[in-house]
């Protein structure tokens, strides 16, 4: 401090001398103290500046050190990543080599090695999945005759176990409780032959694409029971079902798409019993049913779409026994029924739409026995009935709408026998009755609007209609109109809806 004061005094004296002040100045105590204060202030300012410079340098050196440390860490991480990738690649090569072995135990080891690698290697998980699916797509060897070559038959069974193990591992990684889930990835089962039991129950499809396109289901069972479809796409397009069963029982469809477009069902069963449809799109567009069973018994449709657009049903059964319709759309638009049965017996309609628009009924049957209509719409817009049977026997109409606009009755049997019309609307506007049999025997009319007032052709009117009844409107002078053959045209449908909420399974009791 003394040195700083002396330095300040020297600087002050030098400044006074420089401006020409007398060298001999008499200073009293007050002036001397002022000079000391000024000197201390100057010294403090200089010291502060020096401190700032020193602090800045320390900070700069620290930042440089941190920067060098970050660069070193980054290089270390990149080196570790490269090393990990190298190790993953080595594991991948070893696993795929095992999968190509001629010995089934070695192949099994390769399958488990690939699955473990997919768990550890997130960046290469899809690649591991692709290899496992590619193995399944390889055509299986035909089964040898056990009596003729027992060793070959045993080897064949061992190789089948490899395929079954792959499917079990995939299913385990798609379930809700999977330790390392594979949700959101793509799975390509195109052309795979399913002739054994495959358990995919409880899996979750929340993204990605799962393809069973052109797969062959010739036996066994593929089970999607209690699965959840909330996103992504599952496709069975052009698949062939010649035996066995595919089950979606109690599955929940709240988003995404499930497609069976142009699939062929010649035998076996596909089941959606007790499934919930709250937003997904399920499509059987242009599918062919020639002997199989498609069951939607006790299913619940509150939103979304189930479509049989332009499907051909020449045999077999599509059943909605006991189903509940409170929203969404079920469509048979442009479908051709020449021998199959579509059954809605004991179903309940509270809302939504069931459409047979432009459908062609040349055989088979549509059963709506004991159905309850309290809401929603059932539409047969521009449908043709040239054969087969459509029955609303014992149905209850207390609300909603059944619409036969522009329908042609020229050969089929349509029955409303014992039906009860207490509410809602049944309209035959612009319909033509020129053949077949339409009957209302013992039907009750107590308030619903059953409208025949604007039919187009009445040359062969329905039987069993009373002359007068509450809500019944008969034609006064129907305009005759010649029938023409239905145009065999295909029309596309794009029906979507957003999920609202999952229906309450206990909200409505079935009979």
Asked whether residue 410 is domain-assigned, the answer is yes
Q: 292 with 316: CB under 8 angstroms?
A: yes
Return d(Cα 61, Cα 1) in angstroms, integer. Answer: 30
| Residue 70, pLDDT score | 83
pTM tops 0.85: no
301, part of any domain = yes
Contact (Cβ atoms closer than 8 angstroms) between residue 248 and residue 272: yes
Tokens standing for 161? 């176990």
**DSSP of 35-92:** HHHHHHHHHHHHHHHHHHHHHHHHHHHHHHHHHHHHHHHHHHHHHHHHHHHHHHHHHH
Residue 69 and residue 206 in one domain? no
Residue 423's alpha-carbon distances to 299, 373, 398, in angstroms, are: 25, 9, 4
Residue 490 is assigned to a structural domain of this protein: no
Report whether 261 contacts 284 (CB < 8 A): yes
3-class SS shares of the chain: helix, strand, coil, % to 5:
30, 35, 35
96 domain residue, yes or no: no
Same domain membership, residue 78 and residue 194? no
* pLDDT, position 51: 81
Q: In the prediction, which pLDDT does 481 show?
A: 47
The pLDDT of residue 495: 38
pLDDT of residue 219: 83
Q: Which of 323, 297, 254 is nearest to 502 (CA)?
A: 254
Residues 64 and 201 in one domain: no
Region at 112 (left for phi over 0; alpha for psi -120 to 50; beta for the rest): alpha
Same domain, 73 and 192: no
Asked if residue 404 is part of any domain, the answer here is: yes
Q: What is the DSSP string of 426-472?
A: EE-TT-EEEEEEEE-TT-EESS-EEE-TT-SB-SSPPBS--SS-TTE
Same domain, 260 and 401: yes
How far apart CA 374 and CA 382 sit, in angstroms, is 24
Q: What's the pLDDT score for residue 491? A: 40
54 found inside a domain = yes
Q: How many domains does the chain contain in total? A: 2
> Is residue 167 one of the residues assigned to a domain?
no
DSSP H helices, 100-202, are 104-120, 125-137, 150-174
Domain residue limits at 447: 188-473
Taking only the tens of pLDDT, the chain with its 511 residues reads: 555 555 555 655 655 555 455 555 566 777 767 777 777 777 777 878 888 888 888 888 888 888 888 888 887 777 777 788 899 999 999 999 999 999 999 999 999 999 999 999 999 999 999 999 999 999 888 888 878 888 888 888 999 999 999 999 999 999 999 999 999 999 999 999 998 899 999 999 998 999 999 999 988 899 999 999 998 899 999 999 988 889 999 999 999 999 999 999 998 899 999 999 999 999 999 999 998 899 999 999 999 999 999 999 998 999 999 999 999 999 999 999 998 999 999 999 999 999 999 999 998 899 999 999 999 999 999 999 999 999 999 999 999 899 999 999 998 899 999 999 999 999 999 999 998 899 999 999 998 999 999 999 988 899 999 988 999 999 975 455 444 444 444 444 443 333 333 334 333 333 3
- Under 8 Å between Cβ of 249 and 227: no
Q: What angle in degrees, to the nearest 10, is found between the helix axes of 125-137 and 150-174?
A: 140
59, HSE (Cβ side, Cα atoms, 13 Å): 6
Look at residue 154 and give its three-state secondary structure. helix
Give me the pLDDT at residue 446, please: 92
Q: Could you say which DSSP state residue 263 is in?
A: -
Asked whether residue 73 falls in the same domain as residue 203, the answer is: no
Residue 43 lies in a domain: yes
């Amino acid at each position: 401090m003394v040195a700083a004061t002396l330095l300040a005094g020297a600087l002050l004296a030098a400044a006074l001398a420089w401006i020409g002040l007398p060298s001999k100045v008499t200073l009293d105590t007050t002036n001397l103290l002022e000079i000391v204060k000024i000197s201390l202030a100057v010294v403090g300012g200089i010291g502060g500046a020096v401190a700032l410079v020193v602090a800045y340098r320390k900070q700069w050196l620290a930042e440089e050190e941190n920067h060098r440390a970050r660069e070193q860490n980054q290089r270390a991480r990149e080196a570790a990543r490269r090393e990990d990738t190298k190790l993953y690649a080595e594991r991948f090569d070893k696993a795929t080599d095992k999968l190509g072995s001629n010995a089934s135990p070695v192949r099994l080891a390769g399958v488990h090695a690939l699955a473990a690698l997919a768990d550890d290697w997130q960046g290469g998980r899809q690649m591991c999945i692709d290899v496992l699916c590619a193995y399944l797509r390889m055509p299986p060897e035909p089964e040898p005759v056990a009596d003729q070559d027992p060793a070959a038959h045993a080897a064949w069974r061992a190789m089948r176990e490899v395929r079954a193990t792959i499917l079990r591992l995939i299913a385990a990684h798609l379930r809700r409780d999977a330790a390392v889930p594979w949700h959101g990835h793509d799975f390509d089962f195109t052309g795979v032959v399913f002739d054994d039991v495959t358990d995919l129950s409880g899996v979750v499809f929340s993204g990605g694409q799962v393809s069973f396109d052109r797969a062959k289901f010739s036996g066994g069972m593929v089970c999607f029971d209690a699965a959840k479809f909330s996103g992504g796409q599952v496709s069975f397009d052009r698949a062939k079902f010649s035996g066995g069963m595919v089950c979606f029982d109690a599955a929940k469809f709240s988003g995404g798409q499930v497609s069976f477009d142009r699939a062929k069902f010649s035998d076996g069963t596909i089941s959606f019993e007790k499934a919930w449809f709250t937003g997904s799109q399920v499509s059987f567009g242009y599918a062919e049913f020639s002997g199989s069973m498609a069951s939607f018994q006790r299913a619940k449709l509150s939103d979304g779409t189930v479509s049989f657009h332009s499907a051909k049903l020449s045999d077999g059964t599509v059943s909605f026994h006991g189903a509940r319709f409170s929203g969404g759309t079920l469509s048979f638009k442009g479908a051709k029924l020449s021998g199959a049965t579509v059954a809605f017996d004991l179903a309940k309609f509270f809302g939504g739409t069931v459409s047979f628009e432009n459908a062609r009924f040349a055989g088979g049957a549509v059963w709506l026995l004991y159905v309850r209509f309290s809401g929603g719409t059932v539409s047969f817009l521009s449908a043709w009935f040239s054969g087969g049977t459509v029955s609303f026997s014992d149905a209850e109409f207390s609300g909603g709408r059944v619409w036969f606009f522009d329908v042609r009755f020229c050969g089929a049997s349509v029955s409303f026998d014992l039906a009860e019309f207490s509410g809602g609307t049944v309209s035959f506007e612009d319909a033509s009755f020129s053949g077949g049999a339409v009957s209302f025997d013992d039907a009750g009319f107590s308030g619903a609007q059953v409208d025949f007032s604007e039919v187009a052709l009445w040359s062969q009117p329905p039987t069993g209609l009373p002359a007068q009844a509450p809500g019944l409107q008969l034609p006064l002078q129907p305009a005759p109109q010649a029938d023409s053959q239905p145009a065999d045209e295909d029309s596309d449908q794009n029906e979507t809806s957003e999920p609202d909420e999952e229906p309450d399974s206990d909200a409505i009791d079935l009979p």
